[in-house]
Structure formats: C-alpha cells, structure tokens
A = this chain, B = another copy of it.
Amino acid sequence: MTHAPAHDTVSSPFEGILPGAPLPYFLRNGEGEKSIVFDTVFDILLSADETEGQYGAFTTIGPKGDRIPAHQHPTTHEIFYVVEGAVGLWLDDQADYHEKRVLEAGDFAFVPKGIVHAYQNLATSKIFGVGTGGFERFFHGIGTPTDSAEIPTRPYIPPFEQMLAAGQKYGTVFLPEFSFRD
C-alpha cells in the first residue's frame, strides 16, 4: 500500500489497508483486510469506497468443510471464481430454476441478487469473489479480524446475533429452513 487512507474510520483494525478512495494500489498475495469466518479466512481486496460503489472483491481460503447455510442477497450480484480446490455450489430461484455444480480451478458461477445459494468446500479451496459494491465487508461483519492469511487454526463461530446483524447491515438473508431440490 502506498496511499494514506482517505477516510478516518475510528478504531477499525483495517484502517489504512485500502485507500478508501479511487486511488491506485497493489496488494501482495495475502495482504488486504482479513477476517476469520468459521473455518475460512476472507481477505477483502477492494471495496465500494475505491470503486464509487460499483463493486468489491475478496478471496476466501478454507479447508474441506460443511456446507454453509442457505442464504440470499436481495441487492447483491455475486460471482464465484475458483482459483484452487473444489467447491460445491447450490442455486435455487424458488421458481423454475435450480442447479448444483462442483466448481474446480478456473470454473465460474454468477449468482444474481435474490437467488438462494449455498456452497461447500469439498477440498481445501481458494475462491476469488466479486459482489455489488458495499457487500464485501459482510465478511467482516460476521467474522473476527486476523492478521494471518492462512487457513485458521482456530475457527471463529459467530454468535447468531452477530450473523443476523451483519446480514441486516450488508444485505444477506439467512434461510435456515430452506431445502435445496435434488
């Protein structure tokens, strides 16, 4: 990073990592704003602050694990680009469309707003993600800050209240009762 922060968020553990304005910057692999969410680490590389609200970008790295709960984003278009590993992805529009695929390195999925989805690391996996600007810090909302870019040695299990609050703030609706069709 070469720019001073253009905002002055008080007491953020991430202050100064991203410029907070449309200024150029570089991040080495593993640099960025990092949070542990369950057994994975999310690394925010770009936020709405840099793109005039257009989009944000992040990576997530995690071990083979459980399927994350079904959820939807009412206002966020999201992409999954698998860098390494194998990721199961379930999609359902609650009408005519439902599909499940296993994505491997180089595979891509588009999850537009409103689509119910869930994913599961079927092996140690790294995903590059992009979402509508403002969504990206949801992963800080449901996580806990970390300086390490490695797969967490100690998972962080967010309290249910934290998940709900982050979902409300960043546009994620959890659907714990949802059952994906075969």
- A112 and B22 within 8 A (CB): yes
**Chain A window 21-64, contacts with chain B (Cβ cutoff 8 Å), 1 for yes, 0 for no:** 01111111111100000000000011000111011010100000
- Rounded to whole angstroms, the CA-CA distance of A115 and B107 in the bound complex is 30
Stretch binding the partner chain, chosen from A75-83, A138-146, A168-176: A75-83
A82 to B, closest residue via Cβ = B29
Task: Give Cα A140–Cα B57 distance, bound, in whole angstroms.
Answer: 24
Which of A8-16, A126-134, A156-164 contacts its partner? Answer: A126-134
Interface size on A, residues (CB 8 A): 47
Q: Are B25 and A104 in contact (CB under 8 A)?
A: no
User: Contact between B77 and A25 (Cβ–Cβ < 8 Å)?
Assistant: no
Residues of B within 8 A of A113 (CB): 22
Q: Check A26/B77 contact, CB under 8 A, given A2-B99, A57-B130.
A: no
Chain B residues in 8 Å Cβ range of A32: 108
Pairwise interchain contact B77-A50, C-beta atoms closer than 8 A: yes
* Cβ–Cβ < 8 Å partners of A91 in chain B: 24
Contacting residues, chain B, for A54 (C-beta < 8 A): 54-55, 77, 132-133
Could you show 10 A-B contacts with beta carbons less than 8 Å apart? A24-B97, A26-B89, A27-B108, A28-B106, A29-B105, A45-B110, A50-B77, A50-B112, A51-B132, A128-B128
